[in-house]
Structures are given as structure tokens and as C-alpha cells.
Amino acid sequence: MKKIYPPTTPYLTMNVVVLHGSPRKGMNSDTLADMLLKGLNETGLHQVTHFYVNDLNISHCQGCLHCVKPPHSCRIDDDMQKIYRAYKAADIIVWASPMYWGYLTAQLKTVQDRMEALAWAGFEDKTFAVLITYRHHYQSAVTMFERIAPHFHIKLHSLACRTYDPETRRDLPILKCEKELEQAHQLGIKLGSG
């Protein structure tokens, strides 16, 4: 196997935001994100900003439509403002989440709903890496990203990893999902290589 060495380029090549949707730090979806970042870091120096959504104070979207009018800002002053700023500056957004009842976690869904403020200006022309861990189904979340990607000119990459054995009805440790971990690693290399 060919060993890849980090380049010696002293400048940052990409700005990356990782939205960690799991309330359990360091578990399956975070491990997939780590593997993607490992691959990405083999291609250059990158600025990576992590948001562990469960640790943030983010209110639900109120549907007030304040964001419809310029300057298209959300009137709720909470930790979502940090995500807005980081998102606007990012080249790559990593959405990492387990599936709860067939969709993203409630924490990450709240962030997703609050992205309405950027839908009018600032959401488009990004690269998304959607990393999903699941037991039974993942299609609902991935399909949502597939539907919005063309409208917002988003370059979409998705990876779903089943961390459950339906025959034994037991969860699988993420480290047993070697194929998907390597796919996440390779996706990071691909994204970092442009």
C-alpha cells in the first residue's frame, strides 16, 4: 500500500466546517468524520472548525420570515450565529449524524431548519460531505440533501454506514466497518485533492 505524506505547503488550502449531530461524542458518526479529516489532511493544511451541536444553545426556527428580507439574517441571537459565520467562510461542510427514527438527530435537524436564514443568501456553492450511521434506514436524510443540492449548486458526497447486524440484532462497533471507514478516508483525500 502506497504511503501518502502530508505536503509541505505552508498555507491553508480549504476551510472546513464539521457539524457533529450526535449527542455522544467520539462515537460512530464522529469516527467517520475523523476518517474523512484524516484523508483530507493528507492533501494539505486545512482550517477545520468543529461544532458539537448538542453542546450549543440553538433555538428552533420560529418561522417568522425575518430572514426573507435583506440582509437575510436570523433574528434569534444564539450559538447558531457562530455556525452562520463559519458556514459562509467554508468550502466544505461535513454533516455527521446517526439516524434516529429514520432521520438526522433532533440536534442537527434544528441546525438544518435554522439554515433557512442562509437559504436566501450564503447557503449555495458549497461542497457537502454527508456522513450517516444507521441501523435500519438512512435514505430519508440523504434524499433530502440530494433534492436541495442542484438548487443550491452544492457538490454532494454522501456515505452511509450500517452499524447494526440485522441477523443477530446487535449493534456493530464502528471499527468493524472497515470498508466504510476506508471510504470516508478516501473521500477526504478526494475532497482535499480538488
CA distance linking residue 17 with residue 48, whole number of Å: 6
Cα–Cα nearest to 98, from 125, 132, 51, 71: 132
| 193 residue type, one letter | S
Residue 102 has a pLDDT of 87
The average pLDDT across 125-134 equals: 97
Q: Is 103 helix (H, G, I), strand (E, B) or coil?
A: strand
Residue 152 has a pLDDT of 97
Cα–Cα nearest to 22, from 121, 124, 125, 98: 98
- What CATH number should be reported for the domain whose range is 15-192? 3.40.50.360
| More confident site: 15 or 137 | 15
C-alpha distance across the termini of the chain, in Å: 22
pLDDT tens digit sequence for 56-113: 999 999 999 999 999 999 999 999 999 999 999 999 999 999 999 989 999 999 999 9
The C-alpha cell that represents 177 in the structure block = 466497518
H-assigned helices in the chain: 28-41, 80-89, 106-114, 116-119, 139-151, 178-192
| 152 residue type, one letter | F
pLDDT tens digit sequence for 130-168: 999 999 888 889 999 999 999 999 999 999 999 999 999
Supply the pTM of this predicted model: 0.92
Residue 11 has a pLDDT of 55
| Band of pLDDT at residue 3, cut at 50, 70 and 90 | very low
| Contact partners, residue 26, CB within 8 Å, separation at least 6 | none
Residue 1 has a pLDDT of 42
Sheet with 45-52, edge to edge strand ranges: 45-52, 12-20, 92-98, 127-134, 155-162
Question: With contact defined as beta carbons under 8 Å apart, do 46 and 12 qualify?
Answer: yes
Residue 94 has a pLDDT of 98
Percent of the chain with pLDDT over 90: 88
